[in-house]
Amino acid sequence: MKSGLITIKDLARELKISASTVSRALKDHPDISAETKRAVNELAKKLNYQPNAVALSLKQRRSNTIGIIIPEIVHYFFSSVISGIEDVAYDAGFNVIICQSNEKYEREVANAKTLLASRVDGILVSVSKETEDFSHFYNLRNNNIPLVFYDRIVPGLEADQVIIDDFDAAYRATRHLIDSGRQHIAHFAGPQKLLIGKQRKDGYIKALKEAGLDVDEDLIIEADSFEKARLAIMKLLNTGKKFDGLFATNDLTAIGAMQTIQKRGIKIPDEIAIVGFSDGRFSGITDPTLTSVDQHGYEMGTIATEMLLKRITSEDDEYPFETKVLDANLIVRGSSL
């Protein structure tokens, strides 16, 4: 037997009244007599009646559900975003359907289709790395599904979006090293074809120039993983080139460099200060603890969801798109004191 769940009809039959009366009584409609309300609510409680959200969705053409398209849940940043989304959605009485693209274009297209079929009221999207054709997003928009992009946006697609100011964060991180007296600051950069890689490097360069420091190409090295950092720092140290600071494009890179530096007997932060860019919960458990940029994933999730809910519940369909840029602020820890 499928789902022996109680329906409004069951209550109606039992009480020998009509389904509509039951419906009204349940939502405390002013027309209904106190006596009837009491009886209905009592029986509903007794039989543990649960309204059928599916029927409601069909009726109202409104599912009170939002969809999320997310590259990979297991990354700390993304799971924090989800957490933020969940909390806001929950408070507003919305459900959340999560679809992972696993960074695959095909899967992302399927996700969009699924969410459309589920008639979600709106979708939060962070675009997969692989995606170059964006027609599935245009398709959603053509179907009047409100869309908010977070973190990874679609270039050229006007939409609500919330992103982090990577450029400014990198600028401030580098600036922090300069302010604390470092003059020769290296940068371990991400791939320059990726926006975040480029922006972080540009922020670094801006800070140097502004302070009147040379931009030394020998100190800018493309390395964006734990392993690559170990090799790169080794090579750099072997050149004999002097440097007293390092800004790494992410925490794992910073940590890989830090360990290797320490193995050489070089003191951190005394001889070399290090700053990372947060992508996990690593910064607190290194020795020394790692100064790093906080990406505010949770906050990004809450803000994106608020924007989406506003879009969903707004009467006026056509107010202009918003772009929110979050500050990613620097958390100073032991590695740069």
> Under the criterion CB under 7 A, does residue 45 sit at the interface with DNA?
no
Token digits of residue 242 = 């002097």
Q: Strands 122-125 and 65-70, how do they pair?
A: parallel
Token digits of residue 81 = 């975003």
> Under the criterion CB under 8 A, does residue 259 sit at the interface with a copy of itself?
yes
Q: Dump strand ranges (E) for 201-280.
A: 220-222, 245-248, 273-277
**Mask for 11-30, x = binds DNA (CB under 7 A):** -----xxxxxx-xx-xx-xx
> Under the criterion CB under 8 A, does residue 334 sit at the interface with a copy of itself?
no
Q: Are the beta carbons of 247 and 170 closer than 8 angstroms?
A: yes
> Under the criterion CB under 7 A, does residue 55 sit at the interface with DNA?
yes
Question: Least distance from C-beta 11 to DNA, angstroms?
Answer: 8
Residue 34 or 54 having the CB closest to a copy of itself: 54
Residue 113 or 206 having the CB closest to a copy of itself: 113
Reference 122, options 326, 313, 328, 322; nearest CA is 313
* CA atoms of 278 and 162, how far apart (whole Å): 18
- Residue of the chain from 16, 30, 48, 316 that contacts a copy of itself (CB under 8 A): 48
Q: Are the beta carbons of 179 and 146 closer than 8 angstroms?
A: no
Please state, in angstroms and as integers, the Cα–Cα distance from residue 133 to each residue in 77, 83, 205, 300, 337, following that order: 25, 29, 32, 25, 45
**Mask for 266-295, x = binds a copy of itself (CB under 8 A):** --------------xxx-xx-x--------
> Under the criterion CB under 8 A, does residue 214 sit at the interface with a copy of itself?
no
| Coil, strand or helix at 161 | strand
Query: Could you tell me the end-to-end alpha-carbon distance of the chain, in angstroms, rounded to an integer?
Result: 67
How many residues touch a copy of itself (CB under 8 A)?
A: 59
Question: Least distance from C-beta 54 to DNA, angstroms?
Answer: 7
* CA atoms of 111 and 126, how far apart (whole Å): 12
Q: Which does 33 bind (CB under 5 to 8 A by kind): a copy of itself, DNA, none?
A: DNA
Chain centre to alpha carbon of residue 111: 17
> Under the criterion CB under 8 A, does residue 26 sit at the interface with a copy of itself?
no
How many residues touch DNA (CB under 7 A)?
A: 31
* CA atoms of 251 and 75, how far apart (whole Å): 13
Helix axes 34-47, 8-15, angle to 10 degrees: 120
Q: Which does 143 bind (CB under 5 to 8 A by kind): DNA, a copy of itself, none?
A: a copy of itself
* CA atoms of 295 and 303, how far apart (whole Å): 13
- Residue of the chain from 100, 199, 335, 336 that contacts a copy of itself (CB under 8 A): 100
| Coil, strand or helix at 113 | helix
Question: Least distance from C-beta 202 to a copy of itself, angstroms?
Answer: 28
Q: Dump strand ranges (E) for 40-184.
A: 65-70, 95-100, 122-125, 147-150, 160-164
- Residue of the chain from 38, 42, 46, 56 that contacts DNA (CB under 7 A): 56
Question: Least distance from C-beta 311 to a copy of itself, angstroms?
Answer: 13
* CA atoms of 225 and 234, how far apart (whole Å): 14
Residue 241 or 263 having the CB closest to a copy of itself: 263
> Under the criterion CB under 8 A, does residue 34 sit at the interface with a copy of itself?
no
Binding region for DNA (CB under 7 A) = 3, 5, 7-9, 16-21, 23-24, 26-27, 29-36, 51-52, 55-56, 58-61
Binding region for a copy of itself (CB under 8 A) = 1-5, 48, 50-55, 57-58, 61-63, 65, 72-74, 76, 79-80, 82-83, 86-87, 90, 95-100, 113-114, 116-119, 139, 142-144, 226, 252, 255-256, 259, 262-263, 280-282, 284-285, 287, 317
